[in-house]
Structure 1
Amino acid sequence: MCGRYAATKDPATLAAEFDALDATDDQAPATDYNVAPTKNVVAVVQRHPRDEDGEPDPSTTVRSLRVMRWGLIPVWAKDMSIGSRMINARSEKAATTSAFRTSVAKQRCLIPADGWYEWRRDGKVKQPFFMTRPDGHSIAMAGLWSVWRDPSQQDAPPVVSAAVLTTDAIGQLANIHDRMPLLMTPDQWAAWLDPDSAEVGELLGTPPPLDLVESLELRPVSTKVNNVRNNGPELLERDEEKADLTLFDNPR
């Protein structure tokens, strides 16, 4: 699964990395070393631009950065509290699940991250790890998004929310947890974000390249990350007391 991650890059950096326009309108969340569910996050979408009357231009699309609430709120939800339980969507079932199937067909996104946290259980102890790319490039997690309007407040602004897709863990990650985010490589971004294509079953069913997973650094970090109130660069630091931790000893 993915229940916590780090996002420290500013919108300008992300816009350059994902070849996107910054449409966060100065609403982008601040540097966050401990992104938790229900927080605002930055996502990458590709949509048809709309004219002054709100009509989409079918001849072109624009890739942009948008601010969304982490925890997808289905359009049929009576209130937004359900979003806290919809932070992840299983890639194997999303296309047939009522909460996610419309988003799979029409509203897909990428959620950039420096890396994500996962916990490996060893008896009664849960050791957190930070999964990140050693080269400093962002990890692109496949996501889904939705627009929800509060049925009890017709004049309230809509809430745009998102979920991270997950898949079976592979390679070294399987020694930490049985699930992982569905990672997208740059050559997959255009097809995944294409708003005119609903045929993404192959992308949903294809695990991330093993060489990408094996290249990730699986860094043991302090249990300070367990508390969502802790938020600083020290959360990403390698826990030297756990530096010799061998993932293949005492498997979870």
Structure 2
Amino acid sequence: MVAKSDLAIFYLPNHLPKMKTIFITGATSGIGKACAELFAKQGNRLILCGRREDKLAELKERFSGTNEVHTLKFDVRNADEVENAINSLPEGFKSIDVLINNAGNAHGLEPVCDGSFADWDAMMDGNVKGLLYVSKFLIPGMKDRKSGHIVNISSVAARQTYANGVVYCASKRAVDVISEGMRLELTEFGIKVTNIQPGAVETEFSEIRFKGDKERAATVYAGYEALKPDDIADAIGYCVNAPKHVSISDLTIYPSAQSEPRTIHRNL
């Protein structure tokens, strides 16, 4: 008779995901870093991208003992940097199975009439054009191989515009539209496209939005339990490791205290 523990060991390999080459933008913090940690634990080959060279070096040192890891330092908002970085990939890292378009930002919280051109450019260039630049250079390889998975990180802000965040909401609505369009163009090539809409996630997001004002940023997460980056990474992991015939097109994730993009129930 086979013991339960032996059965677990016997069947476990059938449930382990096949090793993939996973390209993650914005990998040095927040959701991107959590994705790197999750997919590293699963034994995948990682391409970690970001602008902070010191943080990329830390991640490479952390994971290289157990995983094949390559880092790329570039700004997704600069098309030439994107192209040069991707073209520099070593041969063993060129066949990308999964692209996680995570890099993005929010800047400012003012009405349109008081908005900053620099803030608007940062959001549109990072959240929209950066996603397009990276995708443009990786999609052809996926089409040639007739396989791949693109995960775009949108936001619940795409579902309901809120005052003083109009441009940010518009940039994330664009991500939704781009995801839908990619799906229309790429499904016939065996490429899955998943659009993730997180609600309030406790990351550096608010600190960046408020120009480094940590006290103001902390108020965003006061009085309730916000989502953690690991929560979003776990959901992405499910989407990426789902059976071949299963494609998660759109996934909205709220903390339990949030009922819609503008409403969070706080215990203050």
The structure where helix makes up a greater share of residues is 2
With normalisation by structure 1, the TM-score equals 0.30
Q: Pick 1 or 2: higher relative contact order, CA cutoff 8 A, min separation 6.
A: 1
The structure where strand makes up a greater share of residues is 1
With normalisation by structure 2, the TM-score equals 0.29
